[in-house]
Chains A and B, each alone.
Chain A
């Protein structure tokens, strides 16, 4: 069934959109990522104009994250206090990121920068996670090995300490705010929720338990993407409600299923799956940059953008 999208001004298959929403929703629920880094390129591929894809995707992430976070609330796997601290950093970061984006746009080549950002960050994070979780799985198979002691590094030497009971942490608020800020900047530039950066940062930088990380990440993604959606709707008029509804119907159902699958899997397995997916998307984007495209020309809307 073909459906005409009023803002994107293209006609697409409604079931295709529902299916895409569903698949990305499952991944979103499983890994606590918004799914934007997968969905946005997929939308480009089926012919949605990039500006509309990025803005509408932000709206859809709000829905799937909200659906996912409710399931996590029920399981008490959301660290609200940590979420709020991250959010403070995240919103400041997003505001800075939008400014940076505008400056880069003036200079041209913003597309290239976004793509390079994707390749570099997805590559680093995917690679690190993959090898770390491989090591973790190998360790768990040999129970005789002595577990590593928790390191007391820089993170524990900073002032303004706070107790995060759900995560079982007693650390300074500075690292979470910095992590939130950094992710906020990147999220605004790359047009995604930032979960795929946030999740590993919470595990490896803040040392939070994996089970809590996903719910907390979803919790703060809701607010960052809601902020982005409003910004896009009021400045660029590029949020397509019809597209968003189709994606999110699939997305919210997928997120519920994904959350339940995620609970059944082991933390190491979950991380290795996420890392493989991140590496795959990174490889695809890198190949696009490296291989000569069959069509050298591309069309953009007029005006000096």
Chain B
């Protein structure tokens, strides 16, 4: 009996599993140059099917996630008449940038369990393991992290921003802000039907400093003494030059 039911279940789910994402990016590399002020990335694709689409509507969720970093969230409190940092929680892994775009409202498109399994929504993308026992309300700190980064456009929840055509073609634009951190940006595309993820696709957008930016950054980290001396030399030269020019024009 159970075996028969399992077989029936498989039959029902088969056509769902046969849907596959085929996707592309307008670019898979972002170059940070001296006048970099943000970048738009177009993410597009199609759904490949062996059989006609199921009657249930299909939804698409696209996430772009920057390199993970540990973040120290501090809270101020009123002590001895002044506002001081009283407590802190270290969030172990938080992406430096995170955008989640979906074809519908994320809450309705995805079930909680699926969100938990694939870490899709913004709170799920942040991992906080050990809040010290001295801190009363640890959840408050992760909320604050999300609030501050959302205000800086670093965390974006973009409901209804994935355009879906005929249950087959989709596209969206992710707006990368100017204050980006270098590194690989994981890009994931999820096909969702009835709140369940049926297929996903992963690719990487590389964000790199190039040209002068690259050179300065490398020198600062590989030859710090030379870098420091060069900085001082530039400072002294600029100071001397300004003085010489002003003496020449006799201001």
Contacts and interface: CB of A to CB of B under 8 A. Distances in A.
Interface of A: 1-4, 6-7, 9-11, 47, 59-60, 62-68, 70-71, 74, 109, 111-112, 226, 229-230, 232-235, 237, 239, 241-242, 244-245, 248-249, 252-253, 255-257, 260, 288-293, 295-305
A23 B33 CA distance: 28
B231 A301 contact: no
Contact of A292 (B71, B73, B78, B180): B78
Contacts of B35: 1-4
B82 interface: yes
A241 B36 contact: no
B236 interface: yes
B238 A237 contact: no
Contact of B228 (A10, A234, A288, A299): A234
B247 A67 contact: no
The 5 A-B pairs of least Cβ separation, nearest first, read A302-B70, A233-B228, A11-B178, A66-B239, A252-B242
Contact of A302 (B69, B180, B209, B221): B69
B236 A66 contact: yes
B228 A229 contact: yes
Contact of B74 (A70, A71, A229, A300): A300
Contacts of B82: 289-290
Contacts of B221: 237
A241 B231 contact: yes
**SS class, residues of chain A in contact with chain B:** helix
A253 B244 CA distance: 11
A297 B72 contact: no
Contacts of A60: 235
Contacts of A288: 83
Contact of A242 (B76, B216, B224): B216
Given A9-B180, A288-B83, A301-B72, 13 more contacts: A2-B178, A6-B214, A6-B216, A233-B220, A237-B220, A237-B224, A239-B228, A242-B216, A295-B148, A299-B71, A299-B72, A299-B74, A300-B72
Given A4-B32, A4-B178, A302-B90, A233 B74 contact: no
A109 B84 CA distance: 8
Contacts of A249: 238
B165 interface: no
Nearest to A234: B224
Given A1-B35, A66-B235, A245-B234, A7 B240 contact: no
Contact of B231 (A2, A59, A293, A305): A59
24 contacts: A2-B36, A3-B34, A6-B213, A6-B217, A11-B179, A62-B236, A63-B235, A66-B239, A67-B239, A70-B239, A235-B224, A239-B227, A241-B220, A241-B227, A252-B242, A256-B242, A297-B73, A297-B74, A297-B75, A298-B74, A300-B73, A300-B74, A300-B88, A302-B69
Interface of B: 32-38, 69-78, 81-85, 88, 90-92, 141, 144-145, 147-149, 178-182, 209, 212-214, 216-217, 220-221, 224-225, 227-232, 234-236, 238-243, 246-247, 251
A16 B145 CA distance: 28
A11 B101 CA distance: 25
A53 to B, nearest CB: 15
Nearest to B33: A4
A105 to B, nearest CB: 13
B55 to A, nearest CB: 46
A241 B219 CA distance: 10
Contacts of B238: 63, 67, 245, 248-249, 252
A67 B245 CA distance: 11
Contacts of B231: 59, 229, 233, 239, 241, 244
